Chain A
Amino acid sequence: MKRLGFEWKVRLGLGAVVLVVGLVLRAPDVPLVNDLLVSLDIWLFLIIAYDSRALARSEFWYDFEVPRAKLGVFRVVFFSLLAVDSWRQIEHVARYGANNFNVSHLPWLDAVLPMPTSSGILVVFLLQSYLAARVVLGVNVKVPVKLLTVLYGYSYFISQTDSYQHHYLLFLLLLISCFVPWHRDAPTDTDPGDPEPAPGTEVVKSWAVRLLLVQLAFLYGWAAIAKLDYMWLSGDAFAQPLKAIPWMNYYARNMPGDLYATPAQLVLLAETTLVLALLNRRLWFWAIPVGVGLHIGIELAGFEIGLFSYYMMSMYLLVVPNRAYRFVAQLLKGVTAGARDALRRAGDKVAGLGTASWAVLALVVAIGTWLLFLLPFDEVWFLALVTLVVALSPLWRRRSPDRRHTASAVAHVAGCALLVVLSLSTSAPHEMYKQLAGSYRRLGDRNAMFHAYAKLAKISPDFGRSYHYMGDVLRERSEQYKDMAAKQTRKGDSSAAEASTRKAAELLERANKNYAEALAAYHRTHEKDPSDYWAYLWEALLHEETAQRLLTKRKLAEAKGEYQKAIAAAVHTLKLKPKKGNVVRAARRIRQRCRAILQRMQQNRKQPRKTRRRRRRRAPSGQSYQDP
């Protein structure tokens, strides 16, 4: 007890009092463990309130020391995540400015800034990814971090469709990051005359890094307060998203007692513990297992929160003990020093070329920009222009190139290469055009829809739906030309009518080609992934539509074959997706409709010719499938 300082005696005393009060006042029908947890929580809150006095002390901010190695590792991990996450965001560009509707997070932004567009926001996300990659490489970090903060702030605040709270958190973290001394030219605790510090021992004082941790503490504190609610403490709110996860639901049903209440209260306890641990350096050791454990749990639970857990886990790199970084830096001393020297030598060599160095730099930058044109977006021109400006910004006010310029050019190539690699290795462009095309389809913009599906067909040739919808649009246009030709014929303009008929035939031919391509793509999907029920459903739909068209043309035998194929595909869908849902309902409806038509066709064939003629006269309009 003598070892504990006065502050800790006060903390423990307060905690003990609250604990006893909590136990005495506990409700008889609530389990003891729940009361203990809640009491501990109140205790922690009191400690936090007591600890928060530290925020007012100047040394709390200005004497906060961080090893440079820690900053470096954090920068690489955090901004790598940001580069990948920004790329993933392109899937959601369809939301921005759809049908000229937008509500920004801050009401005055709507008046100040123009309506966001999917193209504009796509460029913003791509630029974010590019800039984050540059920050990872540590080349001219200041400007990219500031630019990244502005762009991130814009993409978050401009539309409420981005409702992720962690995107708001990321903006705040980026804002603070603008003040973090990422560069070596920041003030250190070593004098200029001092010898080069040993690897991992160089330390910088940074209030911004402290503020990053305080921001996290705020987040956990408010999140804990939000959970001081009966719905959370009883486990009901906690259970809601978890019940959707099959293995979680299985254990919940098969384990005795109230499974969700205790973990829900443990989450609350963990969050309050983290507030305390993040504010107090001596407790960092506890922050890592509690915080990382909490976020691993969140990630395993499978919530749809993007990379939130990974970002939060990366933040805990800042509370890893300094001696761990020192140890790793010593271990990698040879590698890091070698790499740094090699880069310096290369930079110096290029700078030493004189006028030719400009040509070398221009070539390197041009290679990077050329890489951007491999991306499957129409907006690449604008992206290339902005990245060029960023890459060439260090040249501003300099007459001859130096090591920095070489590094900037190399970082430009790396940033562009990252975008290309992500484009080739992820499905984000496919998802983006799929969402865009779907959005245009629902909102009735047929031209934009056609364009988006055409892009999608280029990116994913095996995605049959794009050909299917393109075929629909072409057929609609063909019908329009047919109508036009009929009108022109009535007016007596035979040459125009002929041209329109020719155009209609051409469009119809293209439509049929697209339908054939769609069918081939569905078959390719069946071969690649026999469990893909969507492809079977769409195939069924395509066969049904084709059958209907054949019926109107009185091609009964072919129509019958198409109906049978539609039924087979629908049955296959139902085999693969036996549970209830929209897919099952759609497949059943197709099967039902096709069977009914086939039955009627069968009946009509069995009936004698005279009766059929009589029935045809009586039949309501639109039933053109009867055999004449």
Chain B
Amino acid sequence: MAPPAACHYYSAVRRTSIFIGLFLAIQLALPLSYYTCRQDTFDERFAWRMFSPTRFIKCSVSFTVNGKRENLHQTFHEAWVNLAKRARRDVLWHMADRLCHDNKGADVRLRMTCRALHGKRSQPYTGAWDFCRAGTL
């Protein structure tokens, strides 16, 4: 039978090994998820994509409430508006949710045009979707 000190040592090593294994697995899985299953490719968090080409895509965002263009700076802090301009879906949907909450029964739509580095344009949101009716989150 092994002495108690050795038992303690081996259980500590096992715990440490589990921690290291988990840590490495997360560090592999999270960035890998960006390339495999992340739906929002504009969201590069936890993927270590520093200075990636996605970062330089510029978007213009406009929310309309009952057809009238909303001044986002009057409702959201500038930092959120800048994140919205980076087409971060999480942020955009939360913004839409907030606008629906502030304007009960209104029609909230999002229009967004993005321009990539080589000038290629895309329109991730065309304004066809009423967030309040369709639900956002």
Contact = CB atoms under 8 A, between A and B. Distances in A.
A101 B31 contact: no
Contact of A161 (B16, B53, B83): B83
A62 B76 contact: no
B48 A223 contact: yes
A443 B51 contact: no
A168 B51 contact: no
Interface in B35-56: 35, 44-53, 56
A99 B28 CA distance: 37
A593 to B, nearest CB: 23
B123 interface: no
Interface string B13-39: 100110110011001100100010000
B77 A241 contact: no
Contact of A236 (B24, B94, B118): B118
B53 A231 contact: yes
A173 B117 CA distance: 33
Interface residues of B, number: 39
A164 to B, nearest CB: 10
A172 B28 CA distance: 14
Contacts of B80: 95, 98, 101, 103, 161
Nearest to B95: A101
B24 A214 contact: yes
What interface size band does chain A fall in?
35 or more
Given A62-B13, A214-B24, A160 B90 contact: yes
B77 to A, nearest CB: 4
Which one of A219, A222, A223, A236 has the greatest number of beta carbons of chain B within 10 Å? A222
A72 interface: no
A238 B56 CA distance: 10
B56 A165 contact: no
Nearest to A237: B53
A218 B77 contact: no
Interface string A153-187: 00000001101010010000000100100000000
A292 to B, nearest CB: 17
Interface string A441-483: 0111000000000000000000000000000000000000000
A61 B74 contact: no
Contact of B117 (A61, A237, A439): A237
Interface in B79-128: 79-80, 83, 88, 90-91, 94-95, 98, 117-118
Contacts of A313: none
A237 B52 contact: yes
Interface string A46-61: 0000000001001001
A238 B117 CA distance: 11
B70 interface: no
A95 B49 contact: no
A222 B78 CA distance: 30
Given A160-B88, A222-B49, 9 more contacts: A58-B17, A101-B80, A107-B90, A160-B90, A165-B49, A223-B48, A236-B118, A238-B51, A442-B73
Interface of A: 55, 58, 61-62, 92, 94-95, 98-99, 101, 103, 105, 107, 160-161, 163, 165, 168, 176, 179, 207, 211, 214-215, 218-219, 222-223, 225-227, 229, 231-232, 236-238, 240-241, 303, 439, 442-444
Nearest first, the 4 closest Cβ-Cβ pairs linking A and B are A222-B48, A98-B77, A231-B53, A226-B49
18 contacts: A61-B17, A99-B75, A99-B77, A101-B94, A160-B45, A160-B83, A161-B79, A165-B48, A207-B16, A219-B48, A223-B48, A225-B35, A226-B52, A227-B51, A237-B56, A237-B117, A240-B56, A439-B77
